[in-house]
Amino acid sequence: MKTKVNFLLVIVLTLVVYACYPGGAEYVEELDTSISKFDKAYSWNDLNGKTYSLPTNIMHVKNGEEVDPPKEGPHDKDILKQIKSELDALGMVDATTTAQDTTIALVIVIIEQNNSGAAWIPGGGWWGGYYPGYPGWGWGGYYPWYPVYYSYKTGSVLIEMADYTNKNVTEETIPLIYTGVLDGLMQGSQNYAGTRIKNGINELFNQAPFN
């Protein structure tokens, strides 16, 4: 009998502690992350006055496949507008407004991922092809690294920067100097998502190497 009571006590203790186990995030936006990775050797203090070129369209990737033909998402215009504003605030100059060549090229990618595993997909691949915003170049950047997860529908916004003066002529690539990633769960209204994206871009430009 006493063995049964002792056994019961152990079970009760386990259940009580498990029931009280802290749950972490309560709201979707509390899971949002803004991550920046950058080349530390790059002269980040000299961005002022450098020209940049934003893509005309944002690339969309759904479950690992590029959305083709390209389709404009509900937040694309706002994202482009906000990034332009952030770059202007850094003293950079939109290449389309000057006669100068582009120095910093940007690629923006929105990734939707459904239950595709928990892993970091490393960069280093090759987009290839021609993308708007790379006027006349015909070169792509490296394939971006990005995280994917099991059991969730996640959305990611990637902002990549490459300095055209560092181009590799032989391989026809431009090494990335910066990747910014917003990650979050795709839940809630489009307005809610839009606000979260806006906050995330703001966070990215308040991180190193820009702050």
Partner 1 sequence: MKYFKSFIIVALALISLEVSAQNKTNAFYGMAIPVGDTKDYINPASFRGGNIEFERLVNPKIGVGLLVGWNTFYEAKDRGTYPINNGEITSNQYRYLNAIPIQATGKYYFTGDDAVIRPFIGLAAGTYYMEQRVDNGLFSSSDKGWTFSIAPKAGFLIPLSYSTSLAVSLDYSTSFESSDLPQQNWLGINIGFSWDY
Strand-pairing partners, residue 62, are 65, 112
- Is residue 4 within the footprint of partner 1 (CB under 8 A)? no
- Is residue 114 within the footprint of partner 1 (CB under 8 A)? no
Q: Are 88 and 36 in contact (CB under 8 A)?
A: no
> What values do phi and psi take at 60, rounded to 5?
-115, 130
24 or 69: CB nearest partner 1: 24
Site string for partner 1, 40-59 (x = CB under 8 A): x-------------------
Least separation, in Å, of the C-beta of 175 and partner 1? Answer: 14
Smallest Cα–Cα separation from 167: which of 144, 145, 129, 139?
A: 139
Distance CA 190, CA 55 (A): 23
* One of 70, 132, 135, 147 touching partner 1 (CB under 8 A): 147
- Is residue 169 within the footprint of partner 1 (CB under 8 A)? no
- Is residue 155 within the footprint of partner 1 (CB under 8 A)? no
133 or 155: CB nearest partner 1: 155
Distance CA 168, CA 112 (A): 30
H or E element at residue 9: helix 2-19
Smallest Cα–Cα separation from 110: which of 162, 65, 52?
A: 65
63 or 100: CB nearest partner 1: 63
Q: How many residues sit in the footprint of partner 1 (CB under 8 A)?
A: 37
The β-bridge relationship of strands 104-114 and 59-62 is parallel
* One of 112, 116, 149, 153 touching partner 1 (CB under 8 A): 149
Please give the residue ranges that form the binding site for partner 1 (CB under 8 A).
2, 5-6, 9-10, 13-14, 16-17, 20-22, 24-25, 30-40, 147, 149, 152, 154, 183-185, 203-204, 206-208
